[in-house]
Amino acid sequence: MKKALSILELQEKFTSGELSVEENTQKIISEAKNSNKEFHHFNEISWEKALQKSKELDKQLKARKASGKLFGIPVSVKDCLCVKGVESTAGSAILKTYKPLFNATAVERAEREGAIIIGKTSQDEFGFGTFSTNVGKGFQIPLNPYDKKRSCGGSSGGSAGFAALTENTHAGIAESTGGSIACPASFCGVFGFTPTYGRVSRYGLMDYASSLDKIGSMAKNTQDAALMLESIAGIDEKDSTSLPNPVEEYSKLLEKQPKELKIGIIKEFFSEGIDKKVSETVWKALKRLESEGAKLEEISLPLNAKYGIPAYYLVAMTESSTNLAKYCGLRYGNALNLEGSFDEYFTKVRTEFFGEEAKRRIILGTFARMSGFRDAYYLKAMKVRTLLIQEFQQAFKKAEILASPTMPIIAPEFSKIEKLSPLQNYAMDLCTVPANLAGLPHASINAGFEGKMPVGLMLTGNYLQELQLLQASRMIEKAVQ
């Protein structure tokens, strides 16, 4: 990962007059434009909008009216969040040309705190994937900054890839349904944070699976990610599932180390199916925490390990098949010549513009919720989900934070990914899916390297324990450094 100034350090340069916001934005935009030719971390770079906002902020600086947690900070937004006036496609050809007339709440709040939106980061189409290889027709696959033959992870691949690559200060707004922030953070060696379900409003998110989708942050370090999170979190009248609990100032409280932190080591995620070198690297990082006073205790999540993947994929596909029904080529996004009946037109548009994985999920998801099958599949998966949540709650009686590797492997080469069957592909989400299914906050922190490739450590906290989780992440960040 390339080093850069932290958000607070960069803001000091703005206030001291050493650097103008516009100069800084110019720098990162030209970097993004250049690196994008090679690495494809952006679907769209919104340089005009970014420069215009920078000029406004410089005026505020001059008038000594600069304020906002993200004042002047370049922010990238995963393509599945609406940014007013900027093409927003969720990586799908079916939404090509769509420029939203409004901002997603998370984007609106970041902008209100002074953020400069520099562009839309690349992803698997609608979030359907683990390697950012399932991009829509006409989109390019983001490449890992550590090795271009390897994946950035998915589905927030562009977000993590750019966070690792850039020499400039930057924070990303990303999204996770089943691990899409943690996975790419792990593969690119950056910090990815997914809060409790409902902590950040989903308004303006092109939904994948509504009971699972969570918006979070991606950055080079815990403090920048904490600043982003506290800027975008909180109740929103436009999302009835957003939580009313007050938002803490995570970034200010980060350094307070939780005393006698009990960390539960998830036994199942250090055994079969996990690359030995990955688990060793994660284990070493955890051992360092132990020497700082944390207590490590083995815990077991047998149900989550066994049923997490099937329950998640049933719920996710079922909900996504419903959510994708609104893309018909009539209201917004891509269209064809209007010919034939509605059904014929609808079929043609969807055949043409949805990718293979999206089609697979629509078909499987529709099957799982069809009358006659709903009880056996979707509703059963939802019942299993409750059992998995209960298992987590038992574990939290023994430990405050749970730990495991984020991914069972380091970032794989594209040539290996091509050979995976869909089922083998889904199995890669073993460690990230349980916390997502339960709606629990979780983070991926770099634990070290295997060869030249980064290895991620995943921490999971209990509901709304964002602060504690960030503090524990900070402890690991320091220990590993």
List residues binding ligand GLN (CB under 6 A): 127-130, 155, 176-180, 208, 316, 429
Name the residue nearer to ligand GLN (CB basis): 192 or 454: 192
Q: What are the beta bridge partners of residue 296?
A: 263
Q: What are phi and psi of 449, to 5 degrees?
A: -130, 150
Q: Is residue 35 annotated as a catalytic residue, yes or no?
A: no
Shortest Cβ distance from residue 407 to ligand GLN (Å)? 10
Name the residue nearer to ligand GLN (CB basis): 123 or 169: 123
- 392 neighbors 271 (Cβ within 8 angstroms): no
The Cα–Cα gap between 469 and 479 comes to: 15
The residue annotated as part of the active site, out of 20, 76, 176, 180, is 180
Q: Are strands 116-121 and 74-78 parallel, antiparallel or unpaired?
A: parallel
Q: Is residue 155 annotated as a catalytic residue, yes or no?
A: yes
Ramachandran bin of 439, using left for φ above 0, alpha for ψ from -120 to 50, beta for the remaining angles = left
The Cα–Cα gap between 200 and 175 comes to: 10
Shortest Cβ distance from residue 195 to ligand GLN (Å)? 14
Name the residue nearer to ligand GLN (CB basis): 80 or 459: 80
Q: What are the beta bridge partners of residue 429?
A: none
The residue annotated as part of the active site, out of 35, 155, 217, 473, is 155
Name the residue nearer to ligand GLN (CB basis): 429 or 466: 429
- 194 neighbors 181 (Cβ within 8 angstroms): yes
Shortest Cβ distance from residue 288 to ligand GLN (Å)? 29
In this structure, which amino acid lies at residue 165? L
Shortest Cβ distance from residue 337 to ligand GLN (Å)? 33
Question: Distances in Å between the alpha carbon of 350 and those of 17, 325, 432, 464?
Answer: 52, 10, 30, 39
Tokens 């069957």 correspond to what residue?
421
**How many CA atoms are closer than 13 Å to the CA of 381, on its beta-carbon side?**
22
Shortest Cβ distance from residue 118 to ligand GLN (Å)? 22
Name the residue nearer to ligand GLN (CB basis): 157 or 258: 157
> For 135-281, where are the E strands, in sequence order?
143-144, 147-151, 171-176, 191-194, 214-219, 262-266
Shortest Cβ distance from residue 111 to ligand GLN (Å)? 24
The residue annotated as part of the active site, out of 20, 35, 54, 78, is 78
Name the residue nearer to ligand GLN (CB basis): 58 or 429: 429
Q: Which residues are catalytic?
A: 78, 155, 180
